[in-house]
Amino acid sequence: MQITDEEGEVVAELARGIGPATNNVAEYRAAIEGLRLAADRGAREVILKADSRLLIEQLAGRFRVKSAHLQRLHEEARTEMKRFDRVRLEHVPRERNVEADRLANAGIDEWLAGEGAGYRPPDPPAELFER
* CATH, domain 2-113, list 3.30.420.10, 3.30.43.10, 3.40.50.12280, 3.30.56.10: 3.30.420.10
- Residue 56 pLDDT exceeds 80: yes
Residue 71's pLDDT band (boundaries 50, 70, 90)?
A: very high
Cα separations (Å) of 49 from 122, 126, 127?
Answer: 32, 39, 39
Residue 46's pLDDT band (boundaries 50, 70, 90)?
A: very high
pTM: 0.75
Q: Which residues contact 93 (CB under 8 A, 6 or more apart)?
A: 51
Pinpoint the alpha helices (H) of the chain: 23-40, 53-60, 68-81, 98-113
Residues 109-119 have pLDDT tens digits of 675 677 767 76
pLDDT at 108: 62
pLDDT at 4: 73
Q: One-letter amino acid identity for 11?
A: V
Q: Are 43 and 13 in contact (CB under 8 A)?
A: no
pLDDT at 17: 67
| Domain ranges within the chain, ordered by starting residue | 2-113
Residue 78's pLDDT band (boundaries 50, 70, 90)?
A: very high
53 DSSP assignment: H
pLDDT, averaged across the chain: 83
19: left (phi over 0), alpha (psi -120 to 50) or beta: left
- Residue 88 pLDDT exceeds 70: yes
How far is the C-alpha of 6 from the C-alpha of 10, rounded, in Å? 10
